[in-house]
Chains A and B, each alone.
Chain A
Amino acid sequence: MIEVRDLKVYYGDNVAVDGLSFEVKKGEVYGLIGPNGAGKTTTIKAIATLLEPTYGEILVDGISALHEPENVQGMLGYMPDFPPVYDDLRVDEFVELFASAYGATTEKRRAEVDRCLAATNLEDKRKVLCKTLSRGMKQRALLAKTLVHDPPVLLLDEPAANLDPKARIDLRNLLKSLAKDGKTILVSSHVLTELQDLCDSIGIMREGKMVVNGNLQEVVERATPTKTILMELLHPFPQTHGFLIAHPSAHFTGEVDESPTLIEFTFDGDNEEVANLLRALVELGAPVKSFHERKADVESLFLSVESGEQP
């Protein structure tokens, strides 16, 4: 649905985006991650046709965003990272303005506004002036405006940045339901745990370049080939440490302390070897209370990219 090829954006002598290429399939939720200044906002703005790239190509549903921006714009719902709203309009007027700007008939407009305000939990604030809203509420009003013309593609730049925990959960659920409805969503965020639950694919950007890109699960697994095992003992059992140190596939990351009951180590073997290890520990007499593999997450992947461990 969205195809970005060799995208370059220069601001004066600064390179904001440098040869970026990625693809977002129809109905997919794609998370764009990166530190400040990585080029996420620039990339989203370029896809939204609000910024002309220096080089490269952007296709939305096969249509060039560079050469036919007016044909692409109708397919896009764009939400910027800072939520500017018309301060002196009421919330329903703000959403209605865009319903009519996107060509909804007078009769249809009211229904559209009601639908979007309900989706963003703003029904009780509909008659309130936008300037009196909190930042999180403004973000919701903006999301309502973004959804008003029912676009097949959503470009959301830090949509959860100013939301409280409850609103974040609501937003996540809303985005999930939108994705279920077949919408293609490109979302950038610093809140990495949210992307983990939400995204099908991710791209990690650093200094304008894409350093990691692909299906979330595959990327995470590819980036973390070793398993991290967490084991809890009923009471200290010093032989456990000796056993693990002697095991060729087990490795302790930090200093080995034989007294605690919570043990964490990495393991190179496959799932069958993990099972064999557990069996061996139990046969050794270790009082294993719990034994599980800690799943690698986006956060650790991102941190490993940031620290330069990943390419």
Chain B
Amino acid sequence: MNNDSSGGFAELNPLIRKGIRERLRMKQIIAWGLLTLILTSFTYLTAYLEGSDGQWNYDEKSEIWEKGEPSPVNGARKAFPWLLGVQGFILMFLGTGRMAGGTAEERETGLLDYQRMTPMRPHSKIIGYLFGLPAREYFMFALTLPFLIHAIVVGELSPGKVFHLYGVFLSCVMLYHLTAHVTGLIVSKPRAASWVSRMVVLGLYVFLPGLGQAGFSFLSFLTLLPTYFGLMSEELILVGPQNLNMWHQEMATFWTEVPFFETTLSPAFFSVMMQGLLLAGLFATAHRKWRNEALTAFSKPAGIGLFLLLQFLLIGSLWQLSGNGNASGLLGSAISGDKFDENLIQETENGIVRATVRRTGWVVISVQTILFSLSLGASVLILNVTCPTRHQYLKGKRRSAKLGLQDIPLWADEKPGWLMVLCLALIMPFTHFALLTRAVDSGLYFEEFPGMEAYILPCVLFAACLTYIRAAREKWFTVGFWGFLGLLWITPLLACMVLAVGWEEEVFDVVFHLGSLSPPFAFFEIAGSPHDMSLGIHEDAFKKGAFVGTFIACAIAIWLSLGQFLRRRNWDKGEKNIAVSREP
């Protein structure tokens, strides 16, 4: 690697040059290059040689097993996913760790402050960090490319599709790296940043995509998997007996189309769209933090925009599921199969009667619970970022006074978040009403009209939760806020589990009431209320639980908001006194 300040290298972004100099000196190039070549060769060649060996086939006529001809095509096709795995490990695992650790380390030591003061534009700094910190990982990735070319040529893979796949692969890599960088910039305690970054990356791109299998298809497209299966499954079908290809064929069908509103989109297009949106959002956040560290991760209008986008994607993903039961992923397969059929056996005078009942009510219960929980989770993050703490509020007050303004401007970062709560609480019912109305009209999920409470109650609970989240955020600092939410939302669920395991059905009534303190459980109760939950004598308690949860949430919202209102009045009085005492 050219480490001299001459030629094209000298013209590179200074931060990329820094990354190359720091992590790609000659001895590192040799050590890491050898390691990469050994690891990739071992993985690729093992898979290639195993796959290219002739397959054993059973000839039914002669009733003997025969070994087929060796097939380099099959070898390369079998080795391709392994190669992709190695490349993913290098760029997604090692690279993301480096981004998170590097950003956090520079922030902790103060090196980031030096960069903050240079006149480089924020986007140059972001690009510099994005490609400079994981320079070694990109070098290691480059060393695996000859193996990829071998796989394409020998495996007779479509270069266009592979190119397309690697476009999405690199977009995923940048998404993960940017997420780690942004987390490193946002988390106030640098030592925690590295761990939080890893957790965020895991949560966003590993656990959350799991919900894609429950109808929330857009979440699946934060990973490479849909594109990989959608594009490559057919390409990787082995040459020879077709029984060897069942899995690939199934996966190709599983991921080929993504229902979105009334249309369907290709997985690759949807992945690029999803990742592009997320990349744009993360880039804007990083840009904002580089411009001024004191700014929040995003502004109030941007928070509302994010929530609107989330709701748009939610409606789009669930539109066909609500209207005609069409969904991608496991849920779609379950609906089209017989997974929701329940066989009933009833003894009558005429003997035993067997009947099959489709219990698709569970689809709408689970989807509605996840929909509200997901929206609430997003709201917690948005309110956590956009609602000011006491000191931010007072800073805003003083700055407004200095500028001769009556009050803090409505959309300023320091303005209390009541307007945010109002906006989010008004947006959510649109999604809910649209999807529920379609579900009711489809006749697939409800035997009869579920009642107005199915429409109104979750929206009231959602609004109440947002109200107390805002009050708690503005009242307490970080530890107090998260502690409060943890106590209120998680502890009752843990207690319910203990009660249910210890006393089983005896305490179901208590469990349904206590559990409703936790909003996800209360949303589950609300969603389940219109359906027969087969709970026997506890059915009433289950339905009442929905009201109990909503009532308690409203009570907490009023109590905390009132307290916060009075407290803020005292702060304002204090500020006025300070202003008066400062006057000559």
Using CB atoms and an 8 Å cutoff, list the residues of chain A in contact with chain B. Answer: 10, 12, 48-52, 54-55, 69-70, 73-74, 76, 78, 80, 82, 84-86, 88-90, 93, 96-98, 100-103, 106, 109-110, 145
- Nearest neighbor of B398 in chain A, beta-carbon distance: A55
Q: Do residues A50 and B116 form an inter-chain contact, with CB atoms below 8 A?
A: yes
Complex: chain B residue closest to A48, CB-CB: B117
Known A12-B391, A73-B117, A88-B23; judge A54-B398 contact (CB<8 A).
Answer: yes
- Interface: B111 (CB within 8 A): yes
CB atoms of B110 and A109 under 8 A apart: no
A78 to B117, CA, bound (A): 9
Q: Do residues B5 and A110 form an inter-chain contact, with CB atoms below 8 A?
A: yes
Which residues of chain B from 258 to 295 have a CB within 8 Å of any chain A CB?
291-294
Taking a contact as CB atoms under 8 Å apart, the answer to whether B118 and A109 are in contact is no
Q: Residues 1-32 of chain B: 1 if any A CB is under 8 Å from the residue's CB, otherwise 0? A: 00101100011001101100111010000000
Inter-chain contact A97/B18, CB cutoff 8 Å: yes
Is the Cβ of A55 less than 8 Å from the Cβ of B395? yes
B247 close to A (CB within 8 Å): no
Bound-state Cα–Cα, A176 to B140, Å:
50
Q: Most A CB atoms within 10 A — which of B25, B110, B111, B394?
A: B110
| Cα–Cα distance between A52 and B18 once the two chains are bound (Å) | 28
How many Å lie between the Cα of A149 and that of B402 in the bound state? Answer: 34
Q: Is the CB of A101 within 8 A of B11?
A: no
Q: Which B residues are within 8 Å of any A CB, using their own CB? A: 3, 5-6, 10-11, 14-15, 17-18, 21-23, 25, 109-111, 113-120, 291-294, 391, 394-395, 398-399, 402, 477
Q: Is A106 touching B398 in the complex (CB atoms < 8 A)?
A: no
Looking at the assembled complex, report how far the CB atom of B17 sits from the nearest CB atom of chain A, in whole angstroms.
7
**23 intermolecular pairs with C-beta atoms under 8 Å apart:** A49-B117, A52-B294, A54-B391, A55-B398, A55-B402, A80-B110, A84-B109, A84-B110, A84-B111, A86-B22, A88-B22, A88-B25, A89-B21, A90-B21, A93-B21, A97-B17, A100-B10, A101-B14, A101-B118, A101-B120, A102-B119, A109-B5, A145-B114
A185: min CB distance to chain B, Å: 17
Q: Which residues of B contact A54 (CB under 8 A)?
A: 391, 394-395, 398
CB-based contact B391/A10 at 8 Å: yes
Q: Could you tell me the distance between the alpha carbons of A219 and B154 in the complex, rounded to whole angstroms?
A: 84
Shortest 3 CB-CB distances between A and B: which pairs? A52-B294, A84-B109, A101-B118
The dominant DSSP class at the B interface is: helix
Interface centre among B14, B22, B114, B120 (most CB of A within 10 A): B114
Q: Which residues of chain A are within 8 angstroms of B293 by Cβ–Cβ distance?
A: 50, 52
Contacts of B394 in A (CB 8 A): 54
Q: Are B119 and A70 in contact (CB under 8 A)?
A: yes
A54 to B116, CA, bound (A): 20
Contact B18–A12 (Cβ < 8 Å): no
- Contacts A88-B22, A89-B22 given; does A12 touch B477 at CB 8 Å: yes
A12 to B478 alpha-carbon distance, docked (Å): 11
List of B residues within 8 angstroms of A74 by Cβ: 119
Provide the bound-state CA to CA distance between A98 and B347, in Å.
85
Residues of A within 8 A of B25 (CB): 88
* Contacting residues, chain B, for A86 (C-beta < 8 A): 18, 22, 111
Shortest B576–chain A CB gap in Å is 15
A97→B125 CA distance, assembly (Å): 13
Q: How far is the CA of A103 from the CA of B111 in the complex (A)?
A: 18
A89 touches B11 (CB 8 A): no
Q: How far is the CA of A80 from the CA of B116 in the complex (A)?
A: 14
User: Are the C-beta atoms of B292 and A69 separated by less than 8 Å?
Assistant: yes
A267 to B404, alpha carbons, bound, how many Å?
54
Chain A: minimal CB distance from B466 (Å): 26
Which A residues are CB-close (under 8 A) to B18?
86, 89, 93, 97
The verdict on A80 contacting B22 (CB below 8 Å), with A52-B292, A55-B395 known, is no
Report the bound CA distance from A54 to B291 in whole Å: 18
Known: A84-B110, A101-B14. 5 other contacts (CB 8 A): A52-B293, A54-B398, A84-B111, A93-B18, A97-B18
A50-B113 in contact given A73-B118, A97-B18 (Cβ < 8 Å): yes
With the chains together, A74 CA to B117 CA distance in Å? 7
Whole-angstrom distance between the Cβ of B244 and the nearest chain A Cβ: 49
Contact A96 B391 (CB under 8 A): no
Residue in B23, B110, B115 whose CB lies within 8 Å of A101: B115
| A84 proximity list for chain B (CB < 8 A) | 109-111
* Docked complex Cα distance between A102 and B116 (Å): 11
Give CA–CA (A50, B290) in the complex, Å. 11
Chain A residues with Cβ below 8 Å from B5 are 96, 106, 109-110
Which residues of the other chain, A, contact B119 by a CB distance below 8 angstroms? 70, 73-74, 101-103
CB-CB nearest in chain A for B119? A74
What are the residues of chain A within 8 A of B477 when measuring CB–CB? 12
How far is A10 from B402 in the complex, measured between Cα atoms in Å?
17
Whole-angstrom distance from the CB of B579 to the nearest CB of chain A? 11
B3, B11, B18, B117: residue with the most chain A Cβ atoms closer than 10 Å: B117
Q: Which residue of A lies closest to B295 (CB)?
A: A52
Q: In the complex, what residues of B have CB within 8 A of residue A102's CB?
A: 118-119
B113 / chain A contacts, CB cutoff of 8 Å:
48, 50, 78, 80
Contacts of B292 in A (CB 8 A): 52, 69
- Smallest CB gap from B391: residue in A: A10
Q: How far is the CB of B219 from chain A (nearest CB, A)?
A: 36
